[in-house]
């Protein structure tokens, strides 16, 4: 009992030093080193910092914005304490999508359909998210797939790895796979503002090894910070996307602003949907039932979401080098949809999960 108390007390004292450093005011506050940020995140996740300290940490970083080395340090701890995925030998490098964990509440999500289309062409995909959480409490990745009758929650870390190896697909679901991070949701709710964790979640991936990392952003300073952070983490192949609601869905209503960094060379890439007969409105989300109807139609290359799906899948076929040009990528996306292979991919995933559930219930 005494040893446990002293250990917690020591953790709180360490955390006080970090708070004094980042919360001293506009002129005197300083960023943490990468090692300090990693230790601060460990103290947060392992319950060695008090709720008051965690709240102060989040607000201080909300005001002054975390520096790249601080984000890198926090991600170091997520990598060490969180779930990990690894590609099996000979498996194609996955594309790992980084999107806001608090979901979508304005525009109809396209990315679940994009993921299925990429999978149908042999491109592995890693997604991550959680349950509805502050500040948006928007619709989540798990909800969207469940609406399509693909229920991806409740998997152990071992079954998640199995799903990735067998199907090339994984949804890292925070309540199932990273409960240490899940305990912070109540504090995020009480703060009422997005904390620095939200920036980190866009850049963290559970996949270890070679991959293409895609991260959404809203404001240019966020993009610059993301580039620097990812470089510090040793990422060599990543794409930033000014997507819908800060996610990775590319709009059809305006120019698509992206940038790709590969082998330390960054190129700004701007795509105009009107030049490829893909311009239109970005469909709002009204209800999950309506989204399901539109999504199932889009998987058959028809309905109000079909054009956005062709556009997004076409671009990501290009980014993942399955296609050598955007024109070829859009044509590839249409082929996957018209042939029924995307819809078949969904059915195969549903069958895999149903068989797993049946086995577990025996």
Q: Splitting the chain (362 residues) into consecutive groups of 10 residues, what average pLDDT does each group show?
A: 47 94 80 96 96 94 92 98 97 97 96 98 97 95 98 97 98 98 93 89 96 92 92 96 96 97 91 96 96 98 98 98 98 98 98 88 62
Rounded Cα distance, 334 and 354, in Å: 29
Domains of the chain, residue spans: 2-81, 91-344
Q: How many CB atoms lie within 10 A of CB 46?
A: 14
Q: Which long-range contacts (CB under 8 A, 24 or more apart) does 66-69 make?
A: 66/31, 66/37, 66/196, 66/199, 66/200, 66/225, 67/31, 67/32, 67/225, 68/225, 68/228, 68/229, 68/232, 69/31, 69/32, 69/33, 69/34, 69/37, 69/232
Helix (H, G, I), strand (E, B), or coil: what is residue 206?
A: coil
Helix (H, G, I), strand (E, B), or coil: what is residue 289?
A: helix
Rounded Cα distance, 121 and 253, in Å: 27
Rounded Cα distance, 221 and 8, in Å: 37
Rounded Cα distance, 97 and 104, in Å: 15
For 172, half-sphere exposure in the C-beta direction (CA atoms, 13 angstrom radius) is 26
- CATH architecture of the domain with range 91-344: 3-Layer(aba) Sandwich (3.40)
Q: What angle do CA 184, 187, 191 make, to 5 degrees?
A: 140
Would you give the DSSP letter of residue 90? Answer: T
Rounded Cα distance, 171 and 128, in Å: 5
Contact 301, 331 (CB under 8 A): no
Residue 283 sits at φ, ψ, to 5 deg, of -65, 130
Residue 264: predicted pLDDT: 82
Residues facing residue 128 across a β-bridge: 172
Q: What's domain 2-81's superfamily in CATH?
A: Transferase, Pyrimidine Nucleoside Phosphorylase; Chain C (1.20.970.10)
Q: What is the pTM of this model?
A: 0.94
CA Rg value for the chain: 21
3-state secondary structure 112-155: HHHHHHHHHCCCCEEEEECCCCCCCCCECHHHHHHHCCCCCCCC
- Contacts for 171 with CB less than 8 Å, ≥ 6 apart: 127, 128, 129, 141, 142, 145, 152, 160
Rounded Cα distance, 85 and 59, in Å: 32
Taking only the tens place, the pLDDT of each residue in 162-204 is 999 999 999 999 999 999 999 899 999 999 888 888 999 999 9
């Amino acid at each position: 009992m005494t040893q446990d108390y002293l250990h917690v007390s020591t953790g709180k004292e360490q955390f006080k030093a970090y708070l004094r450093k980042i919360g001293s005011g506009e002129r005197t506050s300083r960023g943490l080193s990468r090692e300090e940020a990693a230790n601060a995140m460990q103290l947060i996740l392992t319950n060695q910092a008090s709720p008051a300290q965690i709240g102060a940490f989040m607000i201080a970083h909300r005001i002054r914005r975390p520096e790249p080395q601080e984000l890198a340090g926090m991600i170091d701890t997520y990598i060490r304490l969180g779930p990990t995925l690894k590609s099996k030998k000979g498996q194609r490098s996955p594309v790992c999508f980084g999107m806001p964990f608090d979901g979508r509440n304005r525009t109809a999500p396209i990315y679940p359909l994009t993921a299925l289309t990429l999978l149908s062409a042999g491109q592995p995909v890693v997604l991550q998210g959680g349950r509805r959480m502050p500040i948006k409490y928007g619709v989540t990745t798990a909800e969207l797939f469940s609406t399509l009758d693909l229920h991806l929650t409740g998997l152990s870390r071992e079954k998640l790895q199995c799903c990735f190896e067998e199907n090339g697909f994984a949804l890292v679901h925070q309540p199932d796979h990273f409960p240490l991070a899940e305990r912070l949701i109540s504090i995020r709710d009480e703060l009422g503002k997005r904390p620095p964790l939200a920036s980190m979640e866009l850049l963290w991936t559970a996949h270890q090894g070679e991959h293409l990392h895609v991260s959404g952003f809203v404001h240019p300073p966020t993009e610059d910070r993301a580039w620097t952070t990812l470089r510090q983490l040793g990422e060599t192949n990543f794409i930033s996307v000014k997507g819908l609601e800060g996610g990775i869905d590319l709009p059809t209503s305006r120019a698509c602003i992206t940038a790709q960094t590969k082998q330390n060379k960054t190129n700004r890439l701007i795509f105009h949907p009107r030049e490829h007969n893909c311009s239109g409105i970005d469909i709002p989300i009204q209800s999950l039932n309506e989204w399901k109807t539109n999504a199932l139609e889009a998987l058959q290359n028809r309905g109000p979401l079909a054009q956005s799906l062709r556009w997004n899948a076409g671009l990501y076929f290009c980014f993942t080098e399955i296609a050598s040009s955007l024109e070829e990528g859009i044509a590839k996306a249409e082929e996957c949809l018209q042939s029924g292979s995307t819809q078949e991919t969904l059915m195969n995933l549903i069958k895999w999960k149903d068989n797993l559930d049946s086995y577990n219930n025996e």
